[in-house]
Structure 1
Amino acid sequence: MAADPGPPSARLRHRIPVRVRHYWKLLATCVAAVAALVVLAGNVQVTPIVTSEAAAAHDEATFDVPGRVDLFDPTVAHTMTLTYTEADYQRMFDEYMATGEKEYVRVDVTVDGTLIRDVGIRLKGNSTLMGLTHQGQSGTLREDRGGGGPMGEAPGGMRVRPNGGGGFGRVSLDSARPEELPWLMSFDEFAKGRRYQGHSEIAIRVSGMGGGSTVLNEAVSLAALDAAGQPAQRYAYTGFQVNGRPVKARLLVEHPDENFADSLGDGVLYKALSTGQFTYQGEDPTEYEDDFKQVNNKGSHDLKPVIELVKWVDEASDADFAAHLGDHVDVASFAAYAAAQNLLLNFDDMAGPGKNYYLWYDLGTKRFRVISWDHNLTFSGSATSGPHDTMSMGGRGGPGGGAEFTPPEGMELPEGFAPPGGFGGPGGFRAGNKLKERFLATDAFKDDYEAAYRNLYRVMFAENKAGAALDSLSATLATVAGNDAAATGSDAERLRSLIADRTKALAEHEVIKS
């Protein structure tokens, strides 16, 4: 006869492992504690914040391609040839036109005779691409939150006819002409850790706007900044050929990657995004994902210093701002930044519609510097604009730190044009940046700004460093494959005239003469 199995409860109890039966009280307590935490903390948002100041964390560079020629030697006529599978290229464009996502295409590139396989390229820009067409389909304004970032090129996708003021050029882009498109090239997108002469990324700049077809205005601006001791990206011209198509002379510009950050010292580099605002939105870093992107030292540092700066600028009284800005920002450096943007007639700086700037946080001084970026709208305003005038693409604006755009005579805006968010106001389209606006409006910093202005004017204009750079770059560009000699001559002459007029106009200004 079979043994009595006992009551159902006993049978179930003996099926539970011995160790679990011995410690059931402890287990029950743990479960109850977890349940209580869920109930009590269920409405609390948990946000990961890294505050460690451990050693700098870089994406590990495993291999650096040395190349044969310094890529950013501006006196050399460089060469760059790309090849890719046409099907990959078309898939990338189909995706962009459908969703706005900028996917990378795998390419083989030969730079100054050095072949590098499996390099990534993707479209770069924001409103620049609004006028882009692909197989007859027009593009729409896309917000770029990726590595290339929003350049603010050609605000709102505007198309302009040539006229005399600043050398406007018509922006017209077509996927059938890849040699003319704006690109971001990544050497490590498909080969993690690879660099080319220390660079993980380079920008291939688009023609048009202030620099005509040659982008000479951007190259001259970078040269002038460098001559004046201001932080600037390196640059050079190259003959650019894609899949056997006609060669086009293009401007290469160093992209502010980790290599660029290292050149600035020991600190953290943050890119401002065109989708963003310089406004305090609380302590949660995820609230700023449309505003700033961290470039280097990820993992060992975070966005906390930027949030603290934005909060302080937002909340400080006028007296506190005047007394303590130097605790947060390198005042002399910022004065030089603001002065340089005015001198170069940069309509689209940190206060412009593209919000084109980087923030550099020095880990030694615990202060910020503003680093300029994207200079394809420099030399686009009135040569007579004074030190305290707002930069305006259509002419002289009033005092203040914001940028203003009044369409000049002859400018054609696309049908249905609407300015990007935050880029509107009476008498034209406006942007702005509270840090720059408060700085320029505070009497305590007037002497700093004007002293920086005089010094930079002396180097860039009185000593003709801008004009000399133009002559040198024009001479080099004439030797670059794919150069349009007539366009280069016209663009150079227009820019030369504007530099001469600005030099003369400012020489008589009271700020320069004081």
Structure 2
Amino acid sequence: MTPPETSTAPPRVAVRRRLAHRVPVRVRHYWKLLAACVVFPVVCAVAFGTVRVTPLVTSSSGNSADQVTQNIVGTTDLFDATVAHRITVTFRDEDYQRLLDDFWEDDEKSFLEADLTVDDTRIASVGIRLKGNSTLGGLTRNGEARQRGFGRPPGAGQGPQPRGNSPGGGFPEGGLPDGVPPGGAGPGGAGPGGFGRASLKAEEPENLPWLIRFDEFVEGRRYQGHREIAVRVSGMGGGTTVLNEAVSLHVLAAAGETAQRYAYSSFTVNDRPTTARLVVEHPDEGFADTLGGDGVLYKSLASGQFTDQGDDPTSYADDFKQITMQGSQDLQPVINLTRWVNTSSDADFAAHLDDHVDVQALARYLAVQNLLLNFDDMAGPGRNYYLWYDLGTRRFTVVGWDYNLTLTGDAAQGPHDTVRMGGRLPQGGGIPLDAMQLPEGMQLPEGMPRPDGDAVDERDRPGGFGGNKLKERFLATAAFKMVYENAYRDLYRKIYADGTALNAVESITKVLSTVTGHDEQKTTADVEQLKTLVRQRAAHLATDSVITGG
């Protein structure tokens, strides 16, 4: 009989094996990776301790970094604005509470996993997160506001709040900051105007602003070519139906200008009541494909300054986010533009702006913002715009986004007046910053400069929040005055003179009235206010010298 085999390993090897088994399994399996993680920072510190690391462009390819592997067709075009749509969202409450914890405690907008049904097409495991900056400032949870909330003092809770001139609400006790005119009550100012806001409660997720991302948990997935869509809420003065944004997007498209697509949909979250919501195309890779040619899309951030911050790309991380072609392109074109706009002489700016920016397109963008009374454009507190860099022409085009503050304020604003919170101010003038005081306890969202002089920097301009050097220099340069006025005159005719805006209110309202969950009383009030503003705006501009050519 053969004796059983016995180990021939030397005693010291056996001891080493026994000692090894005292180390946790995961550590034994990944010891090489852990060692590398320890060694790599040391090597970097020694080798690059005095060297600035910048991103490298390794390819000039036009390919996007994201590979689309699944495109869900669905049953109905989501952005067919002529029909009512249906969206339901289902998620676990514990995931939702975690999302709220992240936002409340760390100011982080994290995604939670949810199941989505769009017009009877079920899509499992999508990502949804809260969307917005100042929009979320009025959000409360269990009756308590966030400490950084905008429009309410910390801990304001759900007590009675003074309301502005709009259906959307208003400032906290103390009213508007000193020196800020009330909106909607100025000359001809009949619209939903005013610096109000919607009241949002965490307990009512069906009313919150959401970003829906189809590939957050399933890589490479799209819905009808879209990676993301936005579920909008009213802005500061936009009314509860967001009708002003829908009308603005409609007339922009009708005038041949770049605009995101939109539609109204019923919106149901878990077993909560159904509401009617405006759903808007989000400027992502799919949207960039509609801009024509090969190019890079950059998003301006609310914290952006559009100032010269040197050569280091990391210094511009709070200014712009690259949306497309990551890995093959970088931020350098935006850096070059920003530096040139801020450092060029007046003569150089007038002579060579068209080498850097599509001047005709910029004139039309700025004319539209004025025509639609948009307080929060590229120079507003939210810095709501994108930059499209055409790799063929090597020029930028400004792309508008976020129109929930349009068609509010003073209908009598002129083509050369500057849109300001709550009304118009003469271009180049306005309320001194030191004349404006915030109500006690009022908090501004991160990235928005204070109007009372605290932490003021170049972003602050006389007359209110925000500012953008490109916009300001363009409008102040005599060489571009005719270009701007020609664009303004043409767009006035396409938006107001031929009745497009007024007809848009009518047609959109008819669709909204068929959406499950719409509030008939609020819709009627918003419609009448908006019609009045549109009529007054059209009538006032019809006599302006820019329109008449006088």
TM bin (shorter chain)? 0.7 to 0.9
1:149 aligns with none
2:192 aligns with 167
**2:496 maps to 1:461:** yes
1:481 aligns with 516
Query: What's the offset of the Cα at 1:426?
Result: 8.4
- Aligned-partner SS, 1:81: strand
The whole-number CA distance in structure 1 between the counterparts of 2:70 and 2:542 is 50
C-alpha deviations, 1:93-121, integer Å up to 9, x for none? 12211111111111111100100000110
The whole-number CA distance in structure 2 between the counterparts of 1:40 and 1:212 is 57
The whole-number CA distance in structure 2 between the counterparts of 1:138 and 1:500 is 38
User: Given the superposition, is the C-alpha separation of residues 488 and 407 from structure 1 closer, same or farther in structure 2, using an over 3 Å criterion?
Assistant: farther
1:222 to 249, 265, 273: 249
CA RMSD of the aligned region, Å?
Answer: 2.9
C-alpha deviations, 1:38-72, integer Å up to 9, x for none? 98964222222326312322311110010100000
2:126 to 111, 114, 119: 119
1:495-510 aligned within 5 A: 495-510=530-545
Amino acid aligned to 1:262 = D
1:88 aligns with 95
The whole-number CA distance in structure 2 between the counterparts of 1:447 and 1:292 is 31
User: Given the superposition, is the C-alpha separation of residues 384 and 97 from structure 1 closer, same or farther in structure 2, using an over 3 Å criterion?
Assistant: same
Query: What's the offset of the Cα at 1:467?
Result: 1.0
**2:102 maps to 1:74:** no
- Aligned-partner SS, 1:211: coil
- Aligned-partner SS, 1:214: coil
Query: What's the offset of the Cα at 1:461?
Result: 0.2
2:307 aligns with 279
The whole-number CA distance in structure 1 between the counterparts of 2:503 and 2:490 is 18
Contact persistence 2:192–2:526 (CA under 8 A): yes
1:184 aligns with 211
Contact persistence 1:347–1:393 (CA under 8 A): yes
The whole-number CA distance in structure 2 between the counterparts of 1:170 and 1:302 is 37
C-alpha deviations, 1:239-261, integer Å up to 9, x for none? 00001111000000000000000
Amino acid aligned to 1:205 = R
1:270 to 295, 298, 301: 298
The whole-number CA distance in structure 1 between the counterparts of 2:410 and 2:482 is 24
C-alpha deviations, 1:266-292, integer Å up to 9, x for none? 210000000111011112111111000
2:367 aligns with 339
**2:389 maps to 1:361:** yes
Query: What's the offset of the Cα at 1:418?
Result: 4.7
- Aligned-partner SS, 2:524: helix
Amino acid aligned to 2:480 = F
1:512 aligns with 547
Query: What's the offset of the Cα at 1:406?
Result: 13
2:115 aligns with 108
User: Given the superposition, is the C-alpha separation of residues 208 and 454 from structure 1 closer, same or farther in structure 2, using an over 3 Å criterion?
Assistant: same
Contact persistence 1:69–1:112 (CA under 8 A): yes
Amino acid aligned to 2:192 = G
Query: What's the offset of the Cα at 1:208?
Result: 4.7
- Aligned-partner SS, 1:360: strand
Deviates more, 1:128-137 or 1:282-291: 128-137
1:39-438 aligned within 5 A: 42-50=49-57, 52-141=59-148, 158=171, 165-168=190-193, 170-265=197-292, 266-400=294-428, 415-418=441-444, 421-422=448-449, 424=451, 429-438=464-473
Query: What's the offset of the Cα at 1:179?
Result: 0.3
The whole-number CA distance in structure 1 between the counterparts of 2:405 and 2:220 is 33
C-alpha deviations, 1:391-427, integer Å up to 9, x for none? 023222111499999999xxx9684345754353687
The whole-number CA distance in structure 2 between the counterparts of 1:162 and 1:446 is 28
Amino acid aligned to 1:393 = M
C-alpha deviations, 1:411-455, integer Å up to 9, x for none? x96843457543536875331000000000000000100000000
Q: TM-score, normalised by structure 1?
A: 0.85
Amino acid aligned to 2:304 = G
User: Given the superposition, is the C-alpha separation of residues 166 and 387 from structure 1 closer, same or farther in structure 2, using an over 3 Å criterion?
Assistant: same
Contact persistence 2:302–2:448 (CA under 8 A): no
User: Given the superposition, is the C-alpha separation of residues 40 and 69 from structure 1 closer, same or farther in structure 2, using an over 3 Å criterion?
Assistant: closer
Amino acid aligned to 1:69 = T
Ranges in structure 2 where 5+ consecutive residues have no aligned partner: 1-41, 151-166, 176-181, 452-459
Contact persistence 1:352–1:402 (CA under 8 A): no
Contact persistence 2:191–2:532 (CA under 8 A): no
C-alpha deviations, 1:173-230, integer Å up to 9, x for none? 1110000000000000010110000000000001253320100000000011111111
The whole-number CA distance in structure 2 between the counterparts of 1:421 and 1:333 is 27
The whole-number CA distance in structure 1 between the counterparts of 2:374 and 2:470 is 17
The whole-number CA distance in structure 2 between the counterparts of 1:492 and 1:454 is 26
The whole-number CA distance in structure 2 between the counterparts of 1:434 and 1:402 is 17
- Aligned-partner SS, 1:64: strand
C-alpha deviations, 1:345-384, integer Å up to 9, x for none? 0000001111000000011111000000000110112101
The whole-number CA distance in structure 2 between the counterparts of 1:405 and 1:81 is 45
1:29 aligns with none
Contact persistence 1:351–1:436 (CA under 8 A): yes
The whole-number CA distance in structure 2 between the counterparts of 1:39 and 1:65 is 50
User: Given the superposition, is the C-alpha separation of residues 66 and 314 from structure 1 closer, same or farther in structure 2, using an over 3 Å criterion?
Assistant: same
The whole-number CA distance in structure 1 between the counterparts of 2:465 and 2:45 is 48
The whole-number CA distance in structure 2 between the counterparts of 1:396 and 1:404 is 14
Contact persistence 1:126–1:141 (CA under 8 A): no
- Aligned-partner SS, 1:386: coil
Amino acid aligned to 1:416 = M
Contact persistence 1:402–1:433 (CA under 8 A): no
User: Given the superposition, is the C-alpha separation of residues 257 and 68 from structure 1 closer, same or farther in structure 2, using an over 3 Å criterion?
Assistant: same
User: Given the superposition, is the C-alpha separation of residues 466 and 279 from structure 1 closer, same or farther in structure 2, using an over 3 Å criterion?
Assistant: same
Amino acid aligned to 2:139 = L
2:480 aligns with 445
The whole-number CA distance in structure 2 between the counterparts of 1:57 and 1:431 is 32
Deviates more, 1:125-134 or 1:356-365: 125-134
User: Given the superposition, is the C-alpha separation of residues 138 and 255 from structure 1 closer, same or farther in structure 2, using an over 3 Å criterion?
Assistant: same
Ranges in structure 1 where 5+ consecutive residues have no aligned partner: 1-34, 144-153
The whole-number CA distance in structure 1 between the counterparts of 2:338 and 2:210 is 31
1:30 aligns with none
2:27 aligns with none
The whole-number CA distance in structure 1 between the counterparts of 2:279 and 2:244 is 13
The whole-number CA distance in structure 2 between the counterparts of 1:76 and 1:250 is 13
Count of equivalent residues: 466
Contact persistence 2:148–2:444 (CA under 8 A): no
Deviates more, 1:293-302 or 1:422-431: 422-431
Contact persistence 1:404–1:431 (CA under 8 A): no
User: Given the superposition, is the C-alpha separation of residues 423 and 50 from structure 1 closer, same or farther in structure 2, using an over 3 Å criterion?
Assistant: farther
Contact persistence 2:381–2:465 (CA under 8 A): yes
| % identical equivalent positions | 56
Contact persistence 2:382–2:448 (CA under 8 A): no
The whole-number CA distance in structure 2 between the counterparts of 1:38 and 1:481 is 60
